[in-house]
Amino acid sequence: MITLIKNGELYTPDYIGIQSILIVGEKIINIGEINEEKLLDLGLDVQVIDAAGSVVLPGLIDPHVHLMGGGGEGGFATRTPEIQLSEITKSGITTVVGCIGTDGTTRHMTSLLAKARGLEEEGITTYIYTGNYHVPTPTITSSVKDDVILIDKVIGAGEIAISDSRSAQPSPHEIAKLTAEARIGGLLSNKAGVTHFHVGVGQERLSFLHRILEDYEIPPSNIYATHITRSRELLDDAIALSNKGAFVDITADHETGEWIRYFKENGGNMEQLTISSDGNGSLPKFNNEGQLVGYGVASPQTLFNQVVSAIKEKRLPVSEIVSLVTRNTASALRLRDKGLLIEKFDADILILEKETLDIKHVFAKGGHMIKDKNVIVKGTFEDRN
């Protein structure tokens, strides 16, 4: 399939004005002035989309999604369900990274891998972390390092829980060893080899991560901490961690725009910041005694909604906000051919109405997933009506 997107205002995520994009197969072949008449004269089957009055962005990269569901802290009936393809694409997400979460007993790494492969067959790009909250953490090959080296979709370890009553209460030394394993796996397989840390509400906050950077030979770029906006004190700690070169991640919620503003105004390294949805993960609420008092399910749609809110309501710069869910995430996870609208990169593209920022079209690896606001590619077992 050849697709020409013309007359759109392009953010790569940097603004480059009104340009055209030519897609052939899965890739962006050309950006700039494209002679439509000459293209059509070739007699090829070309889909032409007039994006006048629209903005064109890279597809979002969500680095933290519970592809198989999550939860279970309230018993077996509180396990959240598997995610479906259109839940992801309707949120403007074209690349996801799957994780397990709390339950590494009834949810298995092999099942997560199979789910990721299934979603990739259905049209989007997927990766996974090996492990779950606990240390030692479950793997496929019995080794974090070997999982990263031998399994194509495994790009690091995670989500490893710290500062949380649900963690295995690991020592800094255990955390350092696991992080080093993931890093070595990344070096030997040319992958990110990051360790993705779930950060709870505990008083230790990010102290373990600061400690291993100070006491061990761990490069900061191999550390990637999420859920950093549980408190102002935790965000301050994350600001300090970002300035050491680690990556930090905001879980999208109704205050995301304000958290971003605070991070920026207080000296956080904006190139080290990302946003994720925690999609299909459970949202348990605990009291001070660690007892479960409430429950919810995170939606991947929250990520896109909060990007829009940060731009429209908080008046934050478009390029800066879009970078947090495209270029920065690709950098944190070292995803080649992702996160930018440039030639030879994957054709992961969003077309949004300029005034409302509603999604009009979604392309994932050149495949047209949403057309004129309608889902045209659904998952294998989704309702076809």
Give the residue numbers marked as catalytic.
278
Residue that is written with structure tokens 């207080």 in the block: 266
Q: Give the 3-state secondary structure of residue 347.
A: coil
> 319: number of CA atoms within 13 Å, CB side?
10
**Helix (H), strand (E) at residue 163:** none
CA 264/CA 374 separation, integer angstroms: 36
Phi, psi of 56 (to 5 degrees): -120, 125
Both structure tokens of 10: 């392009």
Strands (E), 66-133: 93-98, 125-130
Residue in 23, 24, 21 with CA at minimum distance from that of residue 10: 21
Whether residue 83 contacts residue 300, with contact meaning beta carbons closer than 8 Å, is answered with yes
256 phi, psi to nearest 5 deg: -55, -45
3-state secondary structure (DSSP) of residue 233? helix
Biggest CA–CA distance in the chain, Å, is 71
